[in-house]
Amino acid sequence: MKILVITNIPNPYRIPLFNELNIQLREKGMDLKVIFAAETYSRRKFVIDLNDCKFEFAFLGSEQISFGNSEKTTFRYGNLTEVLKSENPDRIIVSGFSMATMKVWWYTKFSKAKYLIWSGSVTTIGKGASFIRSLQRKVLAANSAAFIVYGKRAGKYLESLGVQAKRIFKAINTVDTTFFREKTVELQGKSRLSDNKHRLSYVGYLSKRKNVDQLLICIRQLANVRQDFVLDLIGDGDHLSDLQRQVVELKLESFVQFTGFKQKEELPEYYAQTEVFLFQTGFDIWGLVLNEAMAAGLPCIASPNAGAVDDLIEDGKTGFIVDFNNVDRVLEKINFLLDNKEQAKIIGMNASQFILHNAGVKQSAKGFVDAIVYSNNNE
């Protein structure tokens, strides 16, 4: 049996998953090939080595489409139908409800292949879908042989489209958690710092959606009651200059450091120094930095607007779920973690163990395999 995965670009968090999926499929006598729309797109700064791909892959060389927002990018998947005819797969796993999914849906009308939708889409409060978009998604969902979802919220969204729960399989959205756990432990104690201050960290794209401006308001209030900390903002983005101005306006220059974008291999150095990880997002269908930070053993304070919290954080045990608009509550949790090192360590250890046993690439790949097997048994 030949399995094709259709997705956008190769990146550091998907390659380990596809490597593991390739292993698990081979154990069941199936072959995997990944078709990427393109090698990269403009916003992505990470550097990858394609030699790390231990699975068969190819590029479409597809044209990028932007919707006037650096975070909203897709591809035309121009010659996808021709590639599908050439590959003649038995099962096609395709990301979301994209243009690629439309083309795959049409292709399967005239072939033996079945498709499975791999989705992280969630219900967005206060943002209703148009009639045409809702109809398109219901048609694509009705014809999908099975579904692979990031987590609980994505599963609930599919159920809202009329999908039966038995057809939905969770392949937890994740990263190479082993790398972050082992490399961070290796670097702990090998300090790059000499100021002896507590380290808070945020890692991610610096866009308006990430709500970093609200985090800075929290940090201003924290600086009013203690001065023994520094916040590292690790990342880059189109909101950077606005945030830098805000830091000056709030007189936070001695409390906030902009470190710039860091490659995957550089992040454990920062995680090894971090005492509290902050994820204040205004909206993320998931939030993979939580997987990284928790795997690294960090106590995390995360916004309920991150889809990942439903699957990863048991409040008070593996981290804290806090609305960052509630500044007093945010400060309460930061102060608790900084002033109670043993409890903070326990929460970090709980987080790391939870990720190890529930949210690694092995567990994620198994979700894909289970969905494929289900599609085979329900032909």
Q: Residue 228: is its pLDDT beyond 80? A: yes
Q: Does 367 lie in the same domain as 268?
A: no
**Domain with 253 in it:** 177-358
Mean pLDDT of the 114-132 span: 83
Query: 283 and 149 in one domain?
Result: no
Domain identity same for 74 and 118: yes
CB 337 within 8 A of CB 344: yes
The average pLDDT across 283-296 equals 98
Q: What is the mean pLDDT of residues 49-71?
A: 84
User: Does 140 lie in the same domain as 249?
Assistant: no
pLDDT (tens digit per residue) in 67-93: 666 556 788 998 999 999 999 999 999
134 and 226 part of one domain: no
Distance CA 362, CA 24 (A): 9
Residue 215 and residue 149 in one domain = no
Specify the pLDDT at position 46: 86
DSSP 304-366: TTBTTHHHH--BTTTBEE--TT-HHHHHHHHHHHHH-HHHHHHHHHHHHHHHHHHSSHHHHHH
CA angle in degrees (0–180, nearest 5) for 65-71-75: 25
pLDDT on residue 327: 98
Does one domain contain both 45 and 191? no
The β-bridge partners of 4 are 33, 92
170 and 147, same domain (yes or no): yes
Neighbours of 111 (CB within 10 A): 13
Contacts of 325 (CB under 8 A, 6+ apart): 214
d(CA 333, CA 323): 11
- pLDDT at 160 > cutoff 70: yes
Please report, as a single letter, which amino acid is at residue 171: A
pLDDT for res 128: 59
Query: How many domains is the chain built from?
Result: 2
Distances (CA, A) of 245 to 239, 249, 252, 253, 256: 10, 6, 10, 10, 12
Q: What is the DSSP string of 167-190?
A: GEEE------HHHHHHHHHHHTT-
Contacts of 30 (CB under 8 A, 6+ apart): 1, 2, 3, 372
What per-residue confidence (pLDDT) applies to 132? Answer: 87
Question: Among 57-71, 137-151, 274-288, whose mean pLDDT is lowest?
Answer: 57-71
For residues 214 and 40, what is the distance between their CA atoms, to the nearest angstrom? 31
Is the separation of the CB atoms in 48 and 15 below 8 Å? yes
What pLDDT, in 10s, does the model give residues 315-353? 999 999 999 999 999 999 999 999 999 999 999 999 999
**Is residue 353 domain-shared with residue 364, that is, in the same domain?**
no
CA distance linking residue 77 with residue 61, whole number of Å: 8
DSSP code string of 40-82:
--TT------GGG--SEEEE--PPEEE-SSTT-EEE--TTHHH
The whole-angstrom separation of Cα 379 and Cα 377 is 6
User: Does residue 126 carry a pLDDT above 60?
Assistant: no
276 shares a domain with 372: no
- pTM of this structure: 0.94
User: What is the predicted pLDDT for the residue at 276?
Assistant: 98
In this structure, are 199 and 340 located in the same domain? yes
Question: Of all residues in the chain, what percent carry a pLDDT higher than 90?
Answer: 87
Give me the CATH number covering residue 138: 3.40.50.2000
> Among 193, 174, 177, which Cα is nearest to 185's?
177
Residues 241 and 103 in one domain: no
Rounded distance between C-alpha atoms, residue 201 and residue 276, angstroms: 7
Average pLDDT of the chain to the nearest whole number: 94
